[in-house]
Amino acid sequence: MAKMNFGGVIENVMTREEFPLEKAREILKNETIAVIGYGVQGPGQSQNLRDNGFNVIVGQRAGKTFEKAKADGWKPGETLFSIEEACEKGTIIMCLLSDAAVMSVWPTLKKYLTPGKSLYFSHGFAITWSDRTGVVPPKDIDVIMVAPKGSGTSLRTMFLEGRGLNSSYAVYQDATGKALEKTLALGIGIGSGYLFETTFQREATSDLTGERGSLMGAIQGLLLAQYEVLRENGHSPSEAFNETVEELTQSLGPLFAKNGMDWMYANCSTTAQRGALDWFPRFHDAVKPVVQKLYESVKCGDEAQISIDANSKPDYREGLEKELKALRESEMWQTAVTVRKLRPENN
């Protein structure tokens, strides 16, 4: 385990050089890894494990997603089973269902969690708010987590490109004395770039905060606010979109992803530099109280309960589709459709 300095804070990090794939295979050589769920994370994690030489099966209910698993090469009766069959066969049960689905399937999963098995998550939600989800594992099993910091699609794409998506890891319950080595082996097996230590509670709260904050909620709110101000002051949709979104994602995003925002500040025009230095503290001071309120709502479980309540409504999908349709059909994102078509690579 390497000790890495992150801005003056020392953290435990496991790299693929320290924990090679061969070691991971040796640790898990007698395990049957049952991936339950084939939605967001299931395809990427299961296929990466399969390609890396692990003994993997998939458990999924009949339907469209089951057919998708078949199309990805999982064979019914050999490597593709019902959830119940996969749970019975698996010694490591990777629960990659959505948070709502975990709650509904939990009574089924729990029956197959016999002593010595391992229960794996890629999100701390169900365990962190177990008083709300009802997910309380038996004491005689390992409960572990590897949480890729991105979608299952990104995990798979980066794996095929020979790269790795960073992941956090945690051990919630170690009944066998081998939980940590199994966790790290699975993290390497699914194609993680490097692994950093966390807890189920920290992962769950940071994840929900990030989704609602800078990763999706806040960024949409900021982009829309700037786009609206430009449009309300006479700028065309094309100009407003390019100055708000296109330049950020197509030009600046790749640069500060590679070099950092500090590098961006040092390598832009003096006009942009002065303006950015003057205005970022104002945005920080305006936004931080909102982020603090968001974090408190996540930590106390309110956001988890909102999600649970919303997903349990019989008409939730119908209402969700209306909200997504309104977002998709908004002027800003309809402008995006045209702008994307005009990109050089599409002509």
> How many CB atoms are closer than 10 A to CB 212?
17
Residues 181 and 177: their CA atoms lie apart, in Å, by: 9
- Catalytically annotated residue among 34, 48, 74, 123: 123
Do the Cβ atoms of 156 and 38 come closer than 8 Å? Answer: no
Count how many residues are written for the chain.
347
Task: Kindly tell me the burial class for residue 269, based on how many C-beta atoms sit within 10 Å of its own C-beta (0-12, 13-18, 19 or more).
Answer: exposed
Quote the tokens at residue 170: 């945690």
* C-alpha gyration radius of the chain: 22
284 noted as active-site residue: no
195 Cβ partners below 8 Å, 6+ apart? Answer: 13, 14, 15, 19, 146, 166, 167, 168, 169, 184, 187, 188
DSSP string, 244-290: IIIIIIIIIHHHHHHH-HHHHHHTS-HHHHHHHHHHHHHHHHHHHHH
Q: Which residues are catalytic?
A: 123
